[in-house]
Structure 1
Amino acid sequence: MSADENIPVGWEQARELAYQAGLAASAGAERVPLHDGDGRTLAEPLRALTALPAFPTSSIDGWAVRGEGPWRPVGRVLAGATPPPLTTDGTCVEIATGAMVPEGAAALIRVEESATGADGLVTGVPRSMPEWRRPGEEATLGEELFPAGTPVDPAVIGVAATSGYEFLTVRPAPRAAVLVFGDELLTSGPPGAGRVRDSLGPQVPSWLRRSGATVTSVTGPVEDTLDAHLAAIRRGLETADVICTTGGTMHGPVDHLHPSLTELGAEYVVNTVGVRPGFPMLLARVPAADGRFRFLAGLPGNPQSAVIALVSLVTPLLAGLAGRPFGADLPLVEAATPIPGRGRDTHLALASLDPTGRVATPVGHVGSAMLRGLANAHGFAVIRPGTKIAAGDTVPFLPLPLLPGERP
């Protein structure tokens, strides 16, 4: 196990290392019903099982006509039926929106732009543009609709259903376990008498779910001994691809995480990141009995620092494990007020966005042990090392993880 904790990894490099580690460990695929695909990632390209549309489809309610008018009605075509062909000039059929256009039809006429005379004949003038969807307009048979690695959302599910799919082949959802370290933590009631209430055990699982993981267990507080840490980590490794621990990332008298990783034969992916708040955090590969690696992410004990560690290392790792693209290029926003830098480290400054989503304002209560600022923020303005931001400057913005459909 190698690492030099005196040389922090740059924040942007740490994110990329975490993503690549997850991507290298991504494996397997499973078939799930369409309704279970939301939030998953395609493991193989989704190809059209038929032309879309599969047959010429009326876009209007009206008449399908052949030859010159006026036209004599000879039938009706409703959606879901296969009509006989129109074989005689001067004839027409009434047609509904979504119905199959009969072979031999030359044009469609909208019902509101037609008239039926006392003799029963239909008159009207077709529009210059066809009023039906032709086969293959949206996709041709076998065309790639979405590549492997596409995140599945309701729109992707809808396209798959339209094309005739009942199942999707997707990457397994990464599984995550949470271990809370610290004898000083309370799990109920208000803090006092030297003990503080655990705020990470209740919130980290939700951040993990928003980052695409299935949470298998939440354990803690784990007793501050090496044996207890090892036992808890080993149990977590039985069901999880990623273990997130909270606290114990330093080298103090009751910080047993680093010795535990040594005992487990782990290898650091990242050990110490040049970011504030968030010090110290880590990500390690842990060998498992099945020959595959599992991962352990060490989050600091201070709540805001822990969330920064999660969005810095765990969110990219989970994207890699899920086999989906990772957005390393962050959106840019305008700073509403000056934001200081943190010297040689990246500064992640909690900020809220205006209704346009283009202007970021730093929030208050942003100490590493505080959570009020986090609760009032949409994400972090990213102040790169050696820089500071003036009001009106453009700055990268890292959004907090969101559930599908959520908006900042």
Structure 2
Amino acid sequence: MTATADAEAAANELTPLADYLGSVLRRLRALPPLDLDLTQAYGNVLAEDVVAPHSYPAFDQAAVDGYAARWEDISGGSRGPGYVPAPSGMPGGRSIRLNVVGDLGAASWRPVRLTPGSCFSVAAGAPLPIGADVVVPVEWTDQGMAAVEIFRAPKRGYGLRRAGEELVAGTLLARAGAYVSPALVAVFAATGIGHVVVRPSPRVVIVATGDELVDVGRGSQPGQVVDTNSHALTAAAAEAGGLAYRVGICDDDPEALRGLLDDQTLRADLIITTGGTGTGPGDMVRRILSRREGGRAGPVTFTEVALYPGTALGFGTVGAEEVPVVCLPGEPGAALIGFEVLARPAIQLLAGAEPVFRPSVRAHLLETVSSPVGLREFRPAHVAERRGGGYTVQPLAGGPYTLSGLSDANGLLVLGERVTTAAAGSTVDVLLLDRRR
């Protein structure tokens, strides 16, 4: 057999990524909902639809500082759109003079009524007097206190907001599955909502394994490798919406690993381990968590997935509470890609988010690239919008194993299992990463 045929035969023994993801995600369920005070709800996902109990605005109110009046009292003003001054103020070279019968601020609550030839001085947000159908901006007047001269006339309805103009009671404000954003918090508060039912943010514990690992703050040297993964994956879990907690480094000690995982099940909705997923002599995580005991399979199943980089992934549950655990490779680039394709969707699903995968676009490839046969490759890339519509994508140097490429990327170029070469000018799929810069 040729080398290509050998590679194809080996790839055929791997589990397709889509099949593997489907089998994992079907085993997960969104966390039970809870009722949260509005001030604590930001960043969570709604567990049920939210309907406005009250209208917004709740009452007729002034939108600008000025004078609330009856339009028929100032109707000698402009008929054109917007505010158009007459040559000498009002038509005929005259202004309109109205008596100012009171002042209304945002805290005013007693109902008052306009009479012909009168107006109220109002602040933005103040309730409108009965009969008012226009607010004249203060800068279009002489700003009088007992009486006011109006030099320009706005259209009827200018400067005011009617009750329910933006939202009426019973309006669907947000559907289950929506993220609670700061703007959504404002909408909820404005319509009288103080509590919402949400899915809690998943508690995600990250553990790095390996006798060779040392903590950050020093350089690697023979026999020692700086723990990159637990720091990077803690940040990734937080970016995905989890409450991330870094445990740190666990040596390749079977009892220490079992004890640590048992302890963490009390504080976690998801545990992520990194390292030890292969079949080598030092791959303790796979050896311990997949071991059969008492005729029963181990709590975690390790699968060779058609994924590049990093084919070995593990998933299962640990502890009496059956907390889900995701096991990722130890190589940093493979760990971050494994997080994107497996751990991040798991966090999103636990949080009740929809959809669970990052958005993707079709993009015009700027450079010819090759890809391993039989593997779905995720390669760091830079995606940009084209003038006139559409996207271009530039693969970053070094391929998927380079941390510098991942740090510069705003997208992941996706090359399917059957793609060995993607030519410049072809159209490819790109996952969009969050753009923070």
Give TM class, smaller chain. Answer: 0.7 to 0.9
Are positions 1:364 and 2:397 aligned together? yes
Aligned Cα root-mean-square deviation (Å): 2.9
Which residue type is aligned with residue 10 of structure 1? P
Are positions 1:373 and 2:378 aligned together? no
Are positions 1:243 and 2:271 aligned together? yes
Measured in 2, the distance between the counterparts of 1:125 and 1:392 equals 60
Partner of residue 309, structure 1: 338
The farther-off stretch of 328-337 and 130-139 is 328-337
Measured in 2, the distance between the counterparts of 1:321 and 1:30 equals 13
Aligned match for 2:130, one of 62, 83, 103: 103
Measured in 2, the distance between the counterparts of 1:117 and 1:245 equals 72
Measured in 1, the distance between the counterparts of 2:56 and 2:200 equals 29
Aligned match for 1:39, one of 43, 52, 55: 43
Structure 1 segment 200-215 matched on structure 2, within 5 A: 200-215=229-244
Label 1:367 to 1:216 Cα distance change in 2 as closer, same or farther (>3 A).
Answer: closer
Label 1:101 to 1:229 Cα distance change in 2 as closer, same or farther (>3 A).
Answer: same
Partner of residue 207, structure 2: 179
Which residue type is aligned with residue 285 of structure 2? L
Structure 1 segment 158-307 matched on structure 2, within 5 A: 158-187=186-215, 189-220=218-249, 222-262=250-290, 271-286=303-318, 288-290=319-321, 293-307=322-336
User: Who wins on radius of gyration, i.e. which is larger?
Assistant: 2
Shift of 1:92: 1.2
Partner of residue 56, structure 1: 60
Label 1:158 to 1:8 Cα distance change in 2 as closer, same or farther (>3 A).
Answer: farther
- Indicate if the aligned counterparts of 2:277 and 2:302 stay in contact, CA closer than 8 A: no
The farther-off stretch of 31-40 and 237-246 is 31-40
Measured in 2, the distance between the counterparts of 1:118 and 1:176 equals 63
Which residue type is aligned with residue 289 of structure 1? A
| Higher RCO (CA < 8 A, seq sep 6+) | 1
- Indicate if the aligned counterparts of 2:133 and 2:157 stay in contact, CA closer than 8 A: no
Are positions 1:320 and 2:349 aligned together? yes
- Give CA-to-partner distance per residue, 1:290-339, whole Å, 9 cap, x none: 4xx42111110111001111010010000000011025451333322223
TM-score (norm. length: structure 1): 0.85
Measured in 1, the distance between the counterparts of 2:237 and 2:146 equals 71
Label 1:345 to 1:29 Cα distance change in 2 as closer, same or farther (>3 A).
Answer: same
Are positions 1:350 and 2:350 aligned together? no
- Give CA-to-partner distance per residue, 1:146-182, whole Å, 9 cap, x none: 1121112222222222223344332121111122121
- Indicate if the aligned counterparts of 1:276 and 1:345 stay in contact, CA closer than 8 A: yes
Shift of 1:73: 1.8
Which residue type is aligned with residue 272 of structure 2? C
Q: In the comparison of the two structures, how many residue pairs are matched?
A: 393
TM-score (norm. length: structure 2): 0.80
Label 1:203 to 1:27 Cα distance change in 2 as closer, same or farther (>3 A).
Answer: closer
SS of 1:331 mapped into structure 2: strand
Are positions 1:140 and 2:168 aligned together? yes
Measured in 1, the distance between the counterparts of 2:362 and 2:145 equals 67
- Indicate if the aligned counterparts of 2:68 and 2:132 stay in contact, CA closer than 8 A: yes
SS of 1:205 mapped into structure 2: helix
- Give CA-to-partner distance per residue, 1:44-70, whole Å, 9 cap, x none: 323223101101122222221134345
